[in-house]
Chain A
């Protein structure tokens, strides 16, 4: 099952974000963005962006709640683009503060015409470590009345779409991948198990392997759920019959595939992702579509005459009916 998913809001105007970064006089950092943390780990990635740009320990950075008084006119956390948009905005804000701090460092160190860098909480001048550390630098900037706050704004470049022609360049980039899915059907009972999902996924250059792997595994199982056991039932009167967890079943610990392997394909084509770490929220869900076709192939291996309607989800009911379908 190959997948290809475009990253960006398809409404071009929504591809903008803002981040508010405060560096406090004690060297601690507070970041507010428009991103909403819902388990996808976006706050962790935001923290990584700030820590990486400043080259400071992650423990110095704190992520704030998402608040419309701090960050206005946010786009929803959606379209897999939250980390890209808000991460870029955070990067912009942090870099602006960093530039000011570098100016302060030159003054503090009484240097001119040298390249200042921050590495692991120390100021480096032309590659050599100085005696100026992060905390002292920040305090010095404060005393010199330099702004230690910045509001970063990011708007995805290059993208456009002409609604009249239905043509354009709506996506910052695409995410690709391929999954091999195997399943075993109990041909007597019509029940089945997903044996394995083996994936090669295009992460670009993942900035957080643990989080990205978790997004993949979770997306795959949610996608398999959509294609297999999760069955929404409305009656003809429009009343929801699958109206509780007892009647609407999502995957449990036993219905996850026995094996999920994720091979990280490190791709180097330039993209607009934050630190080249491609968006990962939505794309893996679509590997689950392969589960439908794996089941279909298995049914046909048992009953070559079977030709069930192309209709998902492939519930145990549909499987059993197809196994014993007569043509």
Chain B
């Protein structure tokens, strides 16, 4: 069966956030965000922006009727910067005007002075300074210290993976309008309607039952709209609540890229120990997660890095430690794989390194160590494994030996 949306997608008839017909009296909001990654706000004057033709109001932290807080797991993320800014792109004000154009022009009239403070972008530096989002986590199975002493080969090294922008083609946004008796209807491009409802309830200081969040579909999410849709929904909902007018904000691409978090960059150390016949006996890894300026979903992402730190392999002795490090980047967030890929990248680097040092193909080490049913993952779950089935089938249906022979032949010609 084809995707049930195919027909309307192909005819351009599917409705996304920015396609919802606007109601009479709709206002348009645009966020004004920090140009500085870390600093103290010494002056914020929105009066000129507020008197710009077409502008209805400019909201800042002091206007929040409920709590100025949208943090999901840890309440460490203000909706509006208040006194301090913690990352470039942090919302400071929300300009609401009759037209989007007016709002965008008015933004330039906001006067902001920030006293810069030291900026940390490197997670290892943050960890060294004790800037952690949550206490470190450690997964242990067996005894890696002891096991390393029995290994024929031991290799140590460092492996880094960079972040990744979600680049959903539909940018973030929200469209909210007041309903009877103080209710608000919120159209949001979100993967988490309840997260939006909860965050908006907190910011507005109203019970969740007042807020109807409705999502038709997203033009891509990939994790980027799991928690990070909350900000725009909360900004619009707050303006709708205070002005009793419909309010819409559909982000420009550069705003979206600048103001939202991405896949977490990681810097990691590994130590891998193998027996003479290339069985991985011991593995140690320390992960430094670049969480950005607030928790967002980082603690959960961190956890999944640990869950997947041995990828498809059975390793009897593992010690894996993970730090969620607070830096001055936009709060990094969920992205397809949710920390798992970052953990898997490191064990693959360790295996590649061992293979390169020992002069054997990495596939030999990989294949020999695939997890089997009945083996235990470092977190205690017993595997029901299809790893070898997949591997062997791939070798067979794709004639792996022939592929390798062809590659060797090609490379010998160079």
Contacts and interface: CB of A to CB of B under 8 A. Distances in A.
Do A and B come into direct contact in the complex, CB within 8 Å? Answer: yes
Interface of A: 1-6, 10-11, 34, 36-39, 41, 43-44, 47-48, 58, 63, 65-69, 72-79, 161, 165-171, 173-174, 176-180, 182, 184, 187, 198-202, 208, 210-211, 219, 222-223, 225-226, 230-232, 234, 236-240, 242-245, 248, 250, 261, 263, 265, 267, 269, 271, 281-282, 285-286, 288-289, 292-293, 296-298, 300-302, 307, 309-313
A238 B344 contact: no
Interface string B378-411: 0111111111011101100110100100010011
B36 to A, nearest CB: 8
A67 B222 CA distance: 20
19 contacts: A34-B193, A39-B220, A66-B193, A68-B208, A78-B191, A174-B383, A174-B384, A176-B389, A210-B2, A226-B164, A232-B262, A238-B119, A238-B327, A240-B330, A263-B394, A263-B398, A265-B386, A267-B386, A302-B414
Contacts of B308: 4-6
Contact of B159 (A1, A173, A226, A310): A310
A73 B386 contact: no
Nearest to A226: B164
Most buried by B among A178, A200, A248, A296: A178
A271 B208 CA distance: 35
Contacts of A182: 403, 407
B345 interface: yes
A69 B194 CA distance: 10
Contact of A166 (B140, B254, B390): B140
B191 to A, nearest CB: 5
Contacts of A184: 410
Interface string B78-91: 00000000011100
A250 B338 contact: no
B344 A236 contact: no
Interface stretch (B40-48, B55-63, B105-113, B347-355): B347-355
A201 B265 CA distance: 27
Task: In the A-B complex, list the 3 residue pairs whose CB atoms are closest, starting with the nearest.
Answer: A238-B37, A76-B192, A167-B380
Contacts of A248: 165, 167, 257
Contacts of A166: 137-140, 306, 379
Interface string B1-34: 1111100000000000000000000000000000
Contacts of B407: 182
Interface string B238-250: 0000000000000
Interface in B271-321: 300, 303-304, 306-308, 311-313
Given A182-B403, A187-B414, A232 B160 contact: no
Given A174-B386, A178-B394, A286-B341, 11 more contacts: A2-B370, A6-B340, A34-B194, A38-B225, A68-B213, A180-B403, A198-B394, A219-B336, A240-B258, A285-B336, A289-B348
Contacts of B234: none
A10 B139 CA distance: 14
B345 A202 contact: no
A288 B345 CA distance: 10
Contact of A236 (B87, B119, B390): B119
Interface string B160-190: 1111110110000000000000000000001
